[in-house]
Amino acid sequence: MAQSEVNKMVKAQQSYSVEQIEQMTRLWVETMVVGLNLCPFAAPVVKDETLRFAITDADNDAALTRAFLAEVERLLAADEQTISTTLFIVPTGLEDFYDYLDHLRLFESLLQQAGLEGVLQLASFHPGYLFAGVAADDLSHWSNRAPWPTFHLIREAEVSRALAHYAHPEQIPERNIKRLRALGRDALIARFPPFADYC
pLDDT digits 0-9 by tens, 66-97:
999 999 999 999 999 999 999 999 999 999 99
Instruction: Report the sign of the C-alpha dihedral through residues 24, 175, 196, 141, in that order.
Output: positive
pTM as predicted? 0.90
Q: Determine phi and psi for 192, rounding to 5 degrees.
A: -135, 85
Query: 198 in a domain, yes or no?
Result: no
Q: Under a CB-based contact definition with an 8 Å cutoff, are residues 42 and 146 in contact?
A: no
Res. 3: pLDDT tops 70:
no
- Containing domain of residue 13, as a range? 3-191
Tally the domains of the chain.
1
Query: 199 in a domain, yes or no?
Result: no
Query: 116 in a domain, yes or no?
Result: yes
Query: 129 in a domain, yes or no?
Result: yes
User: In the chain, what percentage of residues exceed pLDDT 90?
Assistant: 75
Rounded to whole angstroms, how far apart are CA atoms 34 and 44?
9
Identify the three-state secondary structure at position 16: coil
Query: 54 in a domain, yes or no?
Result: yes
As a whole number of Å, the CA-based R_g of the chain is 16
Query: 197 in a domain, yes or no?
Result: no
Query: 126 in a domain, yes or no?
Result: yes
